[in-house]
């Protein structure tokens, strides 16, 4: 019985260590051609970006750049390359 408890503690410790290394990452992007988006002056690309990423199963928060309508930040646990690929596969081309 003691061995089962010790094994359970080791598994729980490993799981917790893995969770502690999962850190939110902030990635900044800028679309290559904001003119291709049908936006009014007061509309943002953020809802579209969020919708695309959610549709790809990427849990994230998207925040627009107030000084640059083509720029936005993505807060997520995913790496930058995964976000870039998801956006480009959905027709959102990014500045390099």
Span 41-60, pLDDT tens digits:
445 788 889 999 999 999 99
Count of structural domains within the chain = 1
Kindly provide the b/e burial profile for residues 22-39, where b requires at least 16 CB atoms within 10 angstroms of the residue's own CB.
Answer: eeeeebebebeeeeeeee
Residue 57, domain extent:
23-89
Contact 71, 29 (CB under 8 A): yes
Task: Let me know if residue 62 belongs to a domain.
Answer: yes
Q: What is the pLDDT at residue 11?
A: 52
Average pLDDT, the chain: 77
Task: Let me know if residue 94 belongs to a domain.
Answer: no
Task: Let me know if residue 38 belongs to a domain.
Answer: yes
CA distances from 17 to 38, 72, 78, 79, 95 (A): 45, 31, 18, 19, 36
Q: How confident is the model at residue 5 (pLDDT cuts 50, 70, 90)?
A: low
Task: Let me know if residue 29 belongs to a domain.
Answer: yes
Mean pLDDT on 18-34: 74
CATH code (residue 48): 3.30.1370
Task: Let me know if residue 73 belongs to a domain.
Answer: yes
Q: What is the pLDDT at residue 88?
A: 92
Task: Let me know if residue 17 belongs to a domain.
Answer: no
Task: Let me know if residue 50 belongs to a domain.
Answer: yes
Residue 67 has pLDDT above 70, yes or no: yes
Residue 20 has pLDDT above 50, yes or no: no
């Amino acid at each position: 019985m003691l061995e089962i408890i010790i094994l359970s503690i080791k598994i729980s410790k490993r799981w917790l260590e893995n969770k502690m290394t999962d850190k939110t990452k902030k990635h900044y992007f800028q679309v290559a051609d904001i003119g291709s988006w049908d936006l009014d002056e007061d509309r943002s690309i953020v809802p579209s970006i969020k919708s695309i990423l959610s549709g790809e199963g990427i849990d994230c928060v998207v925040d627009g750049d107030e000084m640059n309508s083509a720029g936005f930040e993505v807060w997520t646990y995913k790496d930058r390359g995964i976000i870039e690929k998801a956006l480009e596969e959905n027709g959102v081309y990014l500045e390099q």
